[in-house]
Each structure stands twice: as structure tokens, then as C-alpha cells.
């Protein structure tokens, strides 16, 4: 609230009135200013469109029959760039009002007949202002919640990143592995035409897919020789451990299928759940291909990196058994025709 001229208390709401009759503009100017509204009057409907485009108004009161264009045409233009403006339509006679379908289509919130008395119009305006006030409050709450959520997400991401770096610090040979898997997975997702949301989940899921290795003893992770059956069983627990770590925060829920199931096999002989075919979450199937490719083309404590031609042959051979055939074909196409992108990623995360 603020005090305006003549000690009238302004309620802070801005109203624009559009009518090609100056007398109507003058009458509504006195009426609305006395009621505390910040008033703007326009007699040219084309000018009104430009004013709304360049200034903020909370509510518009609009005559229907005008020249050079009618009120519904004004609204048609305004709705192309402003979906939120609250609009009340004035008609000289109810028989001249636009069809109900037009009012609904253009999201005109109400209309009333012109009158020397403004009681009905005032009720519509007050009702509109209450609705506007509620919408503003909801927008404010949503912005505050969004800000809180983003800060919470950032905090969780930083915490999990610290864990990820701890895992990679254990083993020099795995350093950069999760970054490469993340980017390879996104390349495959783009090749398959996935949505931005899926690409985001692939990117973050790839970064955290091995987070569960924080729970695997160093003696097993760093063992240079062949693992015993018991040691291999310990390694196979890392997807479940990782999913458990991330499940403590709801923001990571979309990543859980990737983290938990990136070691499932298409033939059902993977772990931890022995899922098969399309029962394996789709993003996990993509990450599995990216993960295996990076494992084969990276130096490990027990072997050197494998030759690229050998890797491609192995991936072709494992289609339908270890890997989803469609996803494998998409990645092989990248390897055969866009290998420069793979090289860029490998050089970036040496």
C-alpha cells in the first residue's frame, strides 16, 4: 500500500482500460483511482497491445466493439506473448458479446455489460484481484521452493561428488572412468534421440554409477591377480550399495535404476537382480554399453588397454547376450563414423 494524490491509498495493482470512447475512459479513471488502482487508459486498441507488451499490468478491462480491431482480436494478439494477464471484457449489449467458445479459447476471465453504475464491474475487478493475488502468492511460493530445492540439490551433489572422488582416489586406473562413462552414455542417448531429461539422468547416472565401490575393500579393488569367488561376490555388491547410498535423497531417485542395474546382462545372467531384455531399465542398458567400452579401452591393474578393433568385435559378438542389440548398434555406429567424439572424451579425461 502507498499514499497517492488526494490521500488515496494505492493498493499496488495496475489496471489498463481499453475503450475507443474517451468518456468511458474518463469515467473509469475516476472510479478506479478512487478505489486505489493505478490506472492507465488507452483509446487505441493497437496501442494497448504495445503497452501490454512493454509494461506490466495486473488486469485489463477491454471493450469488445472497437476500431480498428475488436476486443477479441486484441486478446488474440496479447495471448501470443502474455498468458497470465487477467482480462475482463465490456460489451455495449449482451447480444454483442463474443461467443462463449471464443471467451474460453482466449482465456478471458469475465465480461459484463456497460452501465452508468459500476457495481457489477467492481465486483468482477475485486474477484479478479483476489485471483491475481493468489496466483502471485503461488508463484512466490514456487520460486522459494525452487530455490530451496536447488540449494539442497547442490549440497547433495557436492557430497556425492566427494564420495565419487574418494572412490577414484583408491585406484589410479579408475580415475576419469566415471566421467568417460557419463559422456559416452550421453553420446549414445543423443544418437538414440532421447529427451533432455533422459540425457541429464544418463550424464549424472554415469558419474555416480560406481559410487557403491566406496563399500568394497581396497584389497579387492587393487588386487593385481584373479579374484576369488568370494572377492568377486564382494565386487558384485557395489551396484546395490551405490543405489542404497543415493536412495537417501529423493533428488537421486531417477538415477537409482542406472546405478543398481548397469551390470545386468541382456540374457539375464548379470547382477544384482538377473533382469533380462527390456526388463532392464533402458538407461541402465545404455550405461552398461558405455561402462564396458571404457573398461575394455582403459588400462587396468591386471592388464593393458585392449585394441579398438578387438573391442568392436567383442561388442558385436556380445549383442543380444550381454548388451541390448539396438543400443550396441548405435554405439558401434558412433565408433565407426564419429570416433573423433570418442577421442575427444578420452583425451579430456586421461
Nearest to 283 by CA among 262, 252, 253: 262
Q: Name the phi and psi angles at 217, rounded to 5.
A: -55, 145
pTM: 0.61
The single residue of 170, 213, 236, 319 carrying the catalytic annotation is 213
321: left (phi over 0), alpha (psi -120 to 50) or beta: alpha
The Cβ of residue 279 has, within 10 Å, a number of other Cβ atoms equal to 12
pLDDT in tens, the chain (350 residues): 444 455 566 788 999 999 999 988 998 999 899 888 999 999 999 999 999 999 999 999 999 888 899 988 999 999 999 988 999 988 876 666 677 777 888 888 887 877 777 778 888 888 888 888 888 887 888 788 778 778 877 887 787 778 777 777 776 666 789 999 999 999 999 999 999 999 999 999 999 999 888 888 878 877 777 888 888 888 899 999 989 888 877 788 999 999 999 999 999 999 999 999 999 999 999 999 999 999 999 887 667 889 999 999 999 999 999 999 999 999 999 999 999 999 999 989 87
By the 8 A CB rule, do 306 and 296 touch?
A: yes
Helix (H, G, I), strand (E, B) or coil at 233: helix
H or E element, residue 41: strand 38-42
Of 5, 60, 57, nearest to 28 by C-alpha is 60
Is residue 80 part of the annotated active site? The answer reads no
Return the SS3 of 219. Answer: helix
CA dist 302 and 221 (Å) reads 11
Domains of the chain in start order, with CATH, are: 2-140 (3.40.50.2300), 171-348 (1.10.3210.10)
Handedness of CA 116, 122, 125, 127 (dihedral sign): negative
- The three-class DSSP label of residue 260 is helix
Amino acid at each position: 500500500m502507498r499514499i497517492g494524490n488526494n490521500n488515496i491509498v494505492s493498493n499496488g495493482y495496475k489496471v489498463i482500460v481499453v475503450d475507443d470512447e474517451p468518456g468511458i475512459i474518463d469515467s473509469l479513471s475516476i472510479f478506479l483511482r478512487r478505489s486505489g488502482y493505478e490506472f492507465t487508459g488507452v483509446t487505441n486498441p493497437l496501442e494497448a497491445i504495445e503497452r501490454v507488451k512493454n509494461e506490466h499490468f495486473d488486469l485489463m478491462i477491454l471493450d469488445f466493439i472497437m476500431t480498428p480491431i475488436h476486443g477479441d482480436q486484441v486478446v488474440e494478439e496479447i495471448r501470443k506473448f502474455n498468458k497470465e494477464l487477467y482480462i475482463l471484457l465490456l460489451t455495449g449489449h449482451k447480444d454483442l458479446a463474443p461467443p462463449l467458445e471464443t471467451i474460453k479459447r482466449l482465456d478471458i476471465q469475465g465480461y459484463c455489460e456497460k452501465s452508468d453504475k459500476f457495481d457489477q464491474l467492481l465486483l468482477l475487478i475485486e474477484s479478479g484481484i483476489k485471483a491475481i493475488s493468489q496466483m502471485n502468492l503461488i508463484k512466490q511460493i514456487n520460486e522459494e521452493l525452487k530455490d530451496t530445492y536447488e540449494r539442497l540439490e547442490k549440497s547433495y551433489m557436492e557430497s556425492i561428488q566427494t564420495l565419487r572422488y574418494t572412490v577414484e582416489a583408491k585406484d589410479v586406473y579408475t580415475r576419469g572412468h566415471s566421467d568417460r562413462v557419463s559422456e559416452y552414455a550421453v553420446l549414445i542417448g543423443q544418437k538414440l534421440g532421447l529427451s533432455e531429461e533422459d540425457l541429464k539422468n544418463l550424464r549424472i547416472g554415469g558419474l555416480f554409477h560406481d559410487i557403491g565401490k566406496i563399500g568394497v575393500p581396497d584389497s579387492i579393488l587393487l588386487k593385481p591377480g584373479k579374484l576369488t569367488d568370494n572377492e568377486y561376490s564382494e565386487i558384485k555388491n557395489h551396484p546395490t550399495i551405490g543405489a542404497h547410498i543415493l536412495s537417501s535423497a529423493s533428488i537421486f531417485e531417477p538415477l537409482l535404476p542406472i546405478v543398481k542395474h548397469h551390470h545386468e546382462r541382456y540374457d539375464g545372467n548379470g547382477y544384482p537382480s538377473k533382469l533380462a531384455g527390456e526388463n532392464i531399465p533402458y538407461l541402465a542398458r545404455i550405461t552398461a554399453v558405455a561402462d564396458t567400452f571404457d573398461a575394455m579401452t582403459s588400462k587396468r591393474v591386471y592388464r593393458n588397454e585392449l585394441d579398438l578393433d578387438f573391442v568392436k568385435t567383442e561388442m558385436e559378438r556380445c549383442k543380444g547376450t550381454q548388451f541390448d542389440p539396438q543400443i550396441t548398434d548405435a554405439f558401434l555406429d558412433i565408433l565407426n563414423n564419429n570416433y573423433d567424439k570418442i577421442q575427444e572424451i578420452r583425451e579430456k579425461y586421461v
